[in-house]
């Protein structure tokens, strides 16, 4: 994109909506909060569904990213996120076969909706918790095969390690959303956080954990006051 800014009808930064779907406990909240705050937080209230906002400047393009961390009950209406989302992240834990089966169900319902509504929003299958390699139940090949079946992007990542592992996933889907909306015209190769890259990084000395990461972060922005709820809870913060 070489620093060129995307112009929009009203001159404002574009807004992109990303929804996270998946079984309880796969790390939807952990990934959302890591992306927004760069921190790994251990405990969440599993019954909360919320939307968080982050300002980004990617390749010289300013944008506003809204992330919905869903809590899907039996009787809740999936249209609330299906209509809202510009891009979907279907998350499973690599240590849980059950969450992988659930991810397939989400992929089926999302792709069915998109097809029925002639929409082409990008979908990413995301295998989380690769820091727990020793408990892995879903191989990378199996994840990749499922993603290919649904013509979706595929990533493996962890919310418990470096911020970049999570950022890569979000930026990957943001690039695809931009491309789908005609805001980006370059050939983008989906980023993979490979086990090799992850383990190589594990062997390197880690950057200091405390405090914010290197890049200036404008922090969470109030959308409907939800972003600020984060800081009122007694979370355990690990980095
Ligand atoms: N080791 C490890 N633990 C993780 C990771 N991501 C999340 N967790 C932990 O897994 C548990 C569930 O994570 P959540 O983010 O609450 O999962 P969720 O998908 O939002 O599910 P609910 O909050 O239960 O709706 C928490 O204890 C997290 O700390 C990860 O990448 N690695």
Which tens digit of pLDDT belongs to each residue from 152-190? 999 999 999 999 999 999 999 999 999 999 886 554 454
The CA 30 to ligand 1 mean position distance, Å, reads 5
pLDDT of residue 11: 53
| Closest residue CA from atom 30 of ligand 1 | 129
Instruction: Name the residue of 35, 36, 44 whose CB sits within 8 Å of the most ligand 1 atoms, as the mutation to test its pocket.
Output: 44
Q: Which residues of 70-102 are buried (b: 16+ CB within 10 A; e: fewer)?
A: bbbeeeeeeeebbeebbbbbbbbbbbbeebbeb
Token pair 């943001």 in the structure block, residue: 174
The CA 17 to ligand 1 mean position distance, Å, reads 22
- pTM to 2 decimal places: 0.78
CA distance linking residue 24 with residue 47, whole number of Å: 10
Instruction: Name the residue of 159, 164, 229 whose CB sits within 8 Å of the most ligand 1 atoms, as the mutation to test its pocket.
Output: 159
Question: Which atom of ligand 1 lies nearest, measured to the CA of 48?
Answer: 25
| Closest residue CA from atom 6 of ligand 1 | 27
Angle at 154 between CA 206 and CA 176, to 5 degrees: 100
pLDDT of residue 185: 55
The CA R_g of the chain, rounded to the nearest whole Å, is 17
* Confidence grade of residue 47 (pLDDT, cut at 50, 70, 90): confident
| Closest residue CA from atom 13 of ligand 1 | 27
Pocket of ligand 1 (CB under 6 A): 22, 24-30, 42, 44, 46, 71, 128-129, 131-132, 158-160
ipTM of the complex: 0.96
Going from N- to C-terminal start, the domains of the chain cover 15-181
Q: Answer whether 1's CB lies under 8 Å from 184's CB.
A: yes
Instruction: Name the residue of 24, 25, 28, 93 whose CB sits within 8 Å of the most ligand 1 atoms, as the mutation to test its pocket.
Output: 25
How far is the CA of 8 from the CAs of 11, 72, 144, in angstroms? Answer: 5, 34, 35
CATH classification for the domain delimited by 15-181, as one of 3.40.50.920, 3.30.9.10, 3.40.50.1820, 3.40.50.300: 3.40.50.300
Query: From the CB of residue 66, how many other CB atoms can be counted at a distance below 10 Å?
Result: 18
């Amino acid at each position: 994109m070489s620093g060129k800014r995307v112009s929009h009808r009203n001159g404002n930064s574009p807004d992109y909506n990303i929804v996270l779907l998946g079984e309880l406990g796969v790390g939807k909240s952990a990934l959302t909060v890591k992306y927004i705050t760069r921190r790994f937080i251990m405990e969440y209230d599993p019954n909360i569904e919320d939307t968080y906002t982050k300002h980004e400047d990617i390749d010289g393009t300013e944008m506003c990213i809204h992330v919905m961390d869903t809590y899907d009950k039996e009787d809740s209406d999936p249209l609330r996120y299906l209509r809202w989302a510009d891009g979907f992240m279907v998350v499973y834990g690599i240590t849980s076969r059950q969450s992988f089966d659930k991810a397939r169900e989400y992929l089926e319902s999302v792709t069915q909706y998109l097809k029925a509504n002639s929409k082409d929003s990008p979908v990413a299958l995301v295998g989380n918790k690769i820091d727990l390699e020793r408990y892995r139940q879903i191989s990378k090949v199996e994840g990749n095969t499922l993603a290919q079946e649904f013509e979706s992007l595929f990533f493996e990542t962890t919310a418990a390690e470096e911020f970049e592992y999570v950022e890569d996933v979000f930026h990957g889907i943001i690039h695809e959303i931009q491309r789908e909306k005609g805001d980006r015209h370059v050939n983008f190769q989906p980023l993979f956080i490979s086990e090799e890259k992850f383990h190589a990084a594990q062997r390197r000395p880690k950057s200091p954990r405390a405090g914010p990461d290197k890049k200036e972060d404008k922090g969470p922005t109030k959308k409907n006051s939800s972003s600020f709820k984060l800081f009122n809870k007694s979370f355990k913060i690990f980095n």
